[in-house]
Amino acid sequence: MDALKKLRLELPGIRGVITQYTRYGNVINFLNGLERGVEQADKESVLYCLEEIINWYNDSIQNIKSNIHVTNKKDHNRNMQLINELFIELKNFDFSYVNSDESNKNEKNEPLIFLSHSSANKKYGDALEKLFSGMGIKNEQLIYTSHPLHKIPLDKNIYEYLRLAFNRKLFVIILWSNEYLESPACLNEMGAAWVTQSDYTNIYVPSFDFKNPKYYKCAVDKNKMGAILDGSDNCKTNIIELKNKVAEIFSLDIDEKQWVYLLDQFIEDIK
C-alpha cells in the first residue's frame, strides 16, 4: 500500500485521537489542512501539515502521558510513530501520478456536449449554443467548433482532442443537413458517436432531405425521433424535451421565466 493511500485510511483515526484530547489550537487547523492536502494530492501542504502535527506532538506528549484523564495513551504513541513514518515516506513519494489519475477520473466523469455540425449550418448551431449557454452550460462543457468560446483550443491536435472527448460522459447532438452528409469529417464524428455508444440526439435543419441515400447508409438509428428546426409546435415541444435532458445530465436548475425567454429567442433565431 502506498504512503498516500495509507494516510487517507489512517487520517480519521489520527484526527479522532487528537480531537479527543483537544478541540482547540493550531493542531486542529493543521489537521484540517492535512485533510484538504490529501484530498487534493498536494504534496507541499501534506508535508507541511504533517510536520506541524509532529511538532505539536513533541511539545504535548509529556503532558498527555502525565494527564490522568487521558486513557488512550497507547493511541497517542501509535499516532506519533505513524505520523513520523508517513512523513518520511511521503517526502520521497511521487504525487504527480496521483494528480494525473485524479484529474483523468474527474474529467471522465464530467458530462460534455458535442455539437456535430457542418459549418454551412452555423446559423442553427449558433442558436443551439445560445440556448445552452442561457441554460447555464459553461464554455468548457460544450464543444462547438464554429464558436470562439467552444472551439478546439490553440495548438491542440483536432482529432486527438475529439478522441479524448469521446472517452468522457459525452452527449452528442447531430445537426443533420445535406451539407453534413457531404462532409467526411462530419460523418466521421457521427460514426465515432455510434462506435463509442455515446448518447445522442438527432436534430435536422428544415431543408434536410430525408430521402438522401447517404443518410440511410449512416450507422446511427434513423428511426430514433429527432427535432426539425422549423419553428413549429412540434419543434418547440422537442426543444423543451431537449432542455429537460440537458438539465438532467448537468444537474441544472433553470428558472422558468428565463426558459420561456430563451425558447422564444431560439425560435426567432432559427426562422
Q: Is the pLDDT of residue 46 over 70?
A: yes
At residue 98 the predicted structure's pLDDT band, cuts being 50, 70 and 90, is low
Q: Is the pLDDT of residue 103 over 50?
A: no
Q: Which domains does the chain have, with CATH numbers?
A: 3-101 (no CATH), 110-270 (3.40.50)
At residue 159 the predicted structure's pLDDT band, cuts being 50, 70 and 90, is low
Q: Is 204 exposed, middle or buried, given 0-12, 13-18 or 19+ CB atoms closer than 10 A?
A: buried
Q: Is 14 exposed, middle or buried, given 0-12, 13-18 or 19+ CB atoms closer than 10 A?
A: buried
Q: What is the mean pLDDT of residues 61-72?
A: 93
At residue 221 the predicted structure's pLDDT band, cuts being 50, 70 and 90, is confident
CA distances 121 to 14, 64, 175, 177, 237, Å, are: 60, 74, 8, 8, 22
Q: Is the pLDDT of residue 100 over 70?
A: no
Q: What is the mean pLDDT of residues 218-234?
A: 90
Query: Which DSSP helix (H) or strand (E) runs through 169?
Result: strand 169-176
pLDDT computed for residue 106 by the predictor: 46
Q: Is the pLDDT of residue 78 over 70?
A: yes
What is the per-residue pLDDT across 108-156, written as a single tens digit (0 to 9) for each? 568 889 999 999 999 999 999 999 999 999 888 899 989 888 887 777 7
At residue 180 the predicted structure's pLDDT band, cuts being 50, 70 and 90, is very high
Contact indicator for 121, 179 with CB cutoff of 8 Å: yes
Q: What is the mean pLDDT of the chain?
A: 88
Query: Which DSSP helix (H) or strand (E) runs through 143?
Result: strand 142-143
- The residue that leads in pLDDT, 229 or 223, is 229
Q: How far apart are CA 63 and CA 140, in angstroms?
A: 54
